[in-house]
A and B are shown apart, each in its own frame.
Chain A
Amino acid sequence: MNINFTLVSQAIAFSIFIWFTTKFVWPYLLRAIEERQQKIADGLAAGERGKKELELASQRSSEVLKEAKQRAGEIVIQAEKRASDIIEEAKKNARVEGEKILAGAKAEIQHEIFSARESLRQQVAGLAVQGASKILRREVNAKAHADLLASIETELK
């Protein structure tokens, strides 16, 4: 129970221990702990960032999808419109072509009619002249009435 020099030596030992801890123990472990804390914080932040980016990406992808759908719809509508346009135009062209063909046919028919009429007229004229000449063969001198016959012929023509 008596105070003696042990006190002083213990105090010296105590100071040396404190000095040792302050100098060699505390800073190193504290640094390790702080670095780990930083790492964990960084990791958590990165995770958070990743989550946010994922959210953003999914949002963007849905937007892109929506846009694509919209554009596809537009394209379909355009295509339909264009198809109907083409059909319409084809119809118009066909009508024009048909009319042209019709007109050509009509003109040909006219021409045929005309030429048929012409040949008929000639035939009728020939027949008429023949008939007339047969009738007149007896009474009419062909030579005497030749000019008359010719005039009839021209008239019939």
Chain B
Amino acid sequence: MKLNDVPQDKKHFNDKDVELRKVLYVTDKNGQYTQTHSYGWESENIALEQAWGEIFEQEEQVKQEIREGIASPIKYFMIKNRMDIGILASYVGKWQWQVKRHCKASVFKNLSENVLQKYAQVFNMEVSDLRSFKG
């Protein structure tokens, strides 16, 4: 990529976000490599937007499942924390099949304080807030 072609496609995904200029290696007019900065590129922005859109969509979907009494709050906060079953299982020290079960409303309501505490800690929240989340 040439210095003159470096994209500066700034995009604000979140108002709180600090701006980040990334370093790129590009060629100057003599064909020599040099370091420069870029505020972003449209193609990457599309991919990032899509990844986040997917998370938001899943959050809404799981909220609906919670209201319908199918899913448990654990499933919602797993997605909100950008985790999947595998990652969450390793954080709480459980098997994946156990975490999968805990994602069901019917299993969730019988979980012990001890187990809930583990999840709440990973999600950085109070057990009471986890338990009372209604979607």
Report if A and B associate in a common complex.
no
**Interface, chain B (partner A; CB < 8 A):** none
